[in-house]
């Protein structure tokens, strides 16, 4: 089993350039092209949130147009830049699998033998960058893990439950991670908690398993620096591959080092 994790592309309207020069359409297309050329190809591409910059219907429409021509199986959960209603409306009849009920949250459970793939909706209040897992979403996770009866499971979510040491992002992590930690400690079959949001590759122990943050398609946040000093730093688009092998779960991080994110220069008039 091979799952690709892609996170935080921040797709905006066609032609929009973000973050001091970041081109979300070019970067996401480059990542999808690389994934489509892998051998073996991923059994699933899991998108862990912030698919759009502002959660507008027009942005989701542009996001879906960027997927045209890629026959990769995909699933998605929202991030804090997404808006749940627009997210659900855009993907409901699309090739991208999402959770079924926006009321408790767009939780997503997939059987991908030999593993169970669980996606959590950690969106809090509309426009709030911090994450939340209310009681009903934790209850959903508990039911799915109990029904798994010890099968290997991976949990995907946008907001990490760990402190990364990057203060500007830690204030926007999952609020009150203790109930999630207690739940996961009762289920040692959870091999990894795979997150996005931080725009950096981070790993830490959590609840008796590994919590990992996938680096983003978009540019990175500064390492251990106040965000006000440098809101983002240039980074090649990246993704992770989670491979379930006979010896356990193995995760690889891939940066598209040949990607040129420099904007084309205007032609000289002389």
Per-residue model confidence (pLDDT) at position 265? 41
Per-residue model confidence (pLDDT) at position 224? 79
Per-residue model confidence (pLDDT) at position 38? 97
pLDDT < 70 stretches in the chain:
102-103, 225-230, 261-270
Largest CA distance in the chain: 72
Q: Do residues 112 and 249 lie in contact, with contact meaning Cβ atoms separated by under 8 Å?
A: no
Residue 20 gets the label, from left (phi > 0), alpha (psi -120 to 50) or beta, of left
Is the bond into 123 cis (omega within 30 degrees of 0)? no
State how far the Cα of 134 lies from the Cα of 32, in Å rounded to an integer: 33
Per-residue model confidence (pLDDT) at position 267? 41
Per-residue model confidence (pLDDT) at position 229? 59
Per-residue model confidence (pLDDT) at position 100? 83
CA 29 from centroid of its chain's CA atoms:
16
Per-residue model confidence (pLDDT) at position 231? 73
Q: What angle do CA 111, 79, 52 make, to 5 degrees?
A: 110
pTM of the model: 0.94
CA gyration radius, the chain:
18
Convert the pLDDT of each residue in 84-114 to its tens digit: 999 999 999 999 999 987 667 899 999 999 9
Is the bond into 111 cis (omega within 30 degrees of 0)? no
Per-residue model confidence (pLDDT) at position 264? 46
Domain ranges, ordered by start, for the chain = 2-255
Per-residue model confidence (pLDDT) at position 270? 40
CATH number of 2-255: 3.60.21.10
């Amino acid at each position: 089993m091979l799952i690709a994790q892609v996170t935080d592309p921040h797709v905006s309207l066609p032609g929009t350039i973000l973050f001091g020069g970041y081109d979300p359409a070019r970067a996401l297309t480059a990542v999808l092209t690389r994934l489509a050329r892998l051998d073996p190809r991923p059994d699933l591409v899991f998108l862990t949130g912030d698919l759009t910059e502002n959660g507008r219907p027009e942005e989701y429409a542009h996001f879906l147009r960027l997927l045209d021509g890629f026959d990769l199986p995909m699933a998605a959960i929202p991030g804090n830049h997404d808006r749940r209603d627009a997210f659900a409306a855009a993907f409901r009849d699309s090739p991208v699998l999402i959770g079924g009920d926006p009321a408790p949250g767009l939780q997503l459970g997939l059987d991908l033998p030999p593993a169970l793939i669980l996606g959590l909706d950690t969106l809090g209040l509309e426009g709030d960058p911090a994450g939340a897992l209310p009681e009903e979403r934790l209850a959903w996770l508990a039911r799915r893990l109990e029904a798994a009866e010890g099968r290997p499971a991976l949990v995907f979510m946008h907001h990490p439950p760990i402190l990364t040491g990057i203060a500007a992002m830690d204030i926007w992590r999952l609020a009150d991670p203790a109930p999630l930690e207690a739940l996961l400690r009762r289920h040692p079959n959870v091999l990894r908690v795979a997150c996005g949001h931080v725009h950096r590759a981070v790993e830490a122990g959590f609840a008796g398993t590994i919590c990992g943050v996938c680096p983003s398609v978009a540019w990175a946040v500064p390492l251990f620096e106040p965000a006000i000093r440098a809101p983002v730093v240039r980074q090649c688009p990246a993704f992770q591959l989670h491979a379930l092998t006979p010896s356990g779960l193995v995760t690889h991080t891939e940066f598209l080092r040949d990607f040129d994110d420099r904007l084309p220069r205007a032609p000289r008039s002389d």
